[in-house]
Amino acid sequence: MKKEITIEWLKAACDDLLTIKEIIDKEYLTNIVAFHSQQAIEKSFKAILEDNEIEIPKVHSLIYLYEKVKAHIEIDDEEILEQLNSLYISSRYPADFGLLPYGKPTIEDAEKFFHFAIQVFKLTCKRLKIDENKIHSQGGCP
């Protein structure tokens, strides 16, 4: 049986994915989609760290966290990690709320981030041998 804290990290990641699912079609919320995509990936990585009994650093950098989990999960597009990482950092400051170099994420960007976050979540569940459909009480994650 998996450690409860590992499951809690995945439930929190699932909550972010479910939030995105509710707002993905709203162009005025693309920056929020990007933020929750970053959060879902961060929490997925932290579930891997927890499950492997690796100390969880109090950082939000996807690049840093990915370096710590690389031995356990392989991501096929580190460029998206870098984009989400920069969006998360800038979203902390009102003047730049979730902006890419060319401005606010487009609907296409938001969809790309969402699908990538789902991919990381599913891959994490697979690597940890956890049924992703049993993570959330509302019947699973996207």
- Per-residue pLDDT for the chain (142 aa), expressed as one digit of tens each? 578 999 999 999 999 999 999 999 999 999 889 999 999 999 999 999 999 999 999 999 999 999 999 999 999 889 999 989 887 665 555 555 555 556 788 999 999 999 999 999 999 999 999 998 888 776 678 8
CA angle 42, 138, 128 (to 5 degrees): 45
| pLDDT recorded at residue 127 | 95
| pLDDT recorded at residue 18 | 95
Q: Which domains does the chain have, with CATH numbers?
A: 4-134 (1.20.120.330)
- Cα separation of 31 and 33, whole Å? 5
| pLDDT recorded at residue 3 | 86
